[in-house]
Amino acid sequence: MVNPTPESLLNTFRRARNKAALAGFLALLLLFPGCGPRKYTYPADKVPGSIEEISRKDYNLVVKARVVGKTVGALLYVNSILDKDGQIPKDLNEKMGKLMQVVTRVALSTDLPLEYCLVVIRDRVHPHQLMITRSLEDSKRAYADVIGVEESINRTLFGQDKYELIKDAKSTFVLKDVRHEDFLTDQIVQRVRFNYSKDAKDELDKALLMMDGSFDTSTGQRVFRFSLIALKSEDPREMVLNVFKTVNRVLEGYKYADFDAVEIQDYLNRQKLVVDRNALFDYQKKKITDQEILDRFLTESQSIQEAFKLFGFSIPQSSNDNPDAAVAATAVP
């Protein structure tokens, strides 16, 4: 079975907006009548049961729903996630759209303080699952035409991973509460990775960027940290600047200000950009230019060998004169 990537999921949904499959996902989310948050149709203790009942009665979907903290989610098993071409089938697009519609509809009409909706689609045969995460606030903005279809897609997280498949064992649905800072971090990484790979000619080109992100509070400060290795890129300074612009675009779009700094590490080119909150706000107000961001805040970073450890690579020490070049070569599939 072909293992889908977040970029392939994004590509699928972006193509869908120009095809009939749009009715299977985002159109369903954008077109159904929003339920006013002041009218609590679904009491807090009835939210999971309501999602399961509506999914079954309206769409013949047997799902398991649950609530953890401010997140409500639903799990659906299907016979196959991808078709023979490695794409998400049209009927699965529609099922995902309908299920997200139900989850969002209930979440908008309950007195339970919810902020995120999550839909998980699992393959019954292969231990793969797709995950779609949306902010309720983004859904409200989409219904009110405050954000368009393209931005709505950009604000939707598409992920995939593996789950534990145990023969004859009862399935479990472990739902984690979505933290706002993690949602923003994952969205930034997704946007950067898609922008980098959208013009790629093949899968090898797409694999030439590795990027990870986290919201770190371990030092007593609240810092967005991003690590990247781009084996095929434009001007290295331009690469870091483009990542910074994406970070700024997301944080500004959500009006998020509860952080101290943004850190971007480009390990291959040994450079690090650290911009504090006040400087970022000045940049948003056009008080600081792109060139000034680079000149003032871009510094030399550490060896890329440390970066490969972060991305799960075990790299032996090299005695060559240029060990980093040898390390970089091992990263190309």
Sequence spans of domains, the chain: 6-178, 184-330
Task: Tell me which of 1-10, 236-245, 274-283, 308-317 is least confident.
Answer: 1-10
Q: Which of 68, 55, 74, 143 is nearest to 112 (CA)?
A: 68
Helix (H) or strand (E) holding 289: none
- Following CA atoms 279, 285, 289, 295 in sequence, which dihedral angle do they give, to the nearest 10 degrees? 0
Which of the four pLDDT bands, split at 50, 70 and 90, describes residue 233?
Answer: low
Which has the higher per-residue pLDDT, 231 or 188? 188
Instruction: Name residue 13's amino acid.
Output: F
Residues 260-292: tens digit of each pLDDT:
999 999 988 889 999 999 999 999 999 999 999
71: which strand partners?
A: 68, 116
∠ CA 209-210-212, rounded to 5°: 140
Could you tell me the two tokens for 97?
Answer: 């759209």
pLDDT one-digit tens code per residue, 86-135? 788 889 989 999 999 999 999 999 999 999 999 999 998 888 999 999 99
14-36 confidence digits (pLDDT tens): 444 333 344 445 555 554 444 44
Strand duo 261-266 + 223-230: pairing: parallel
Residue 163 confidence (pLDDT): 86
The predicted-structure confidence for 164-214, as pLDDT tens digits, reads as follows: 877 766 778 889 999 999 999 999 999 998 887 776 655 555 556 788 999
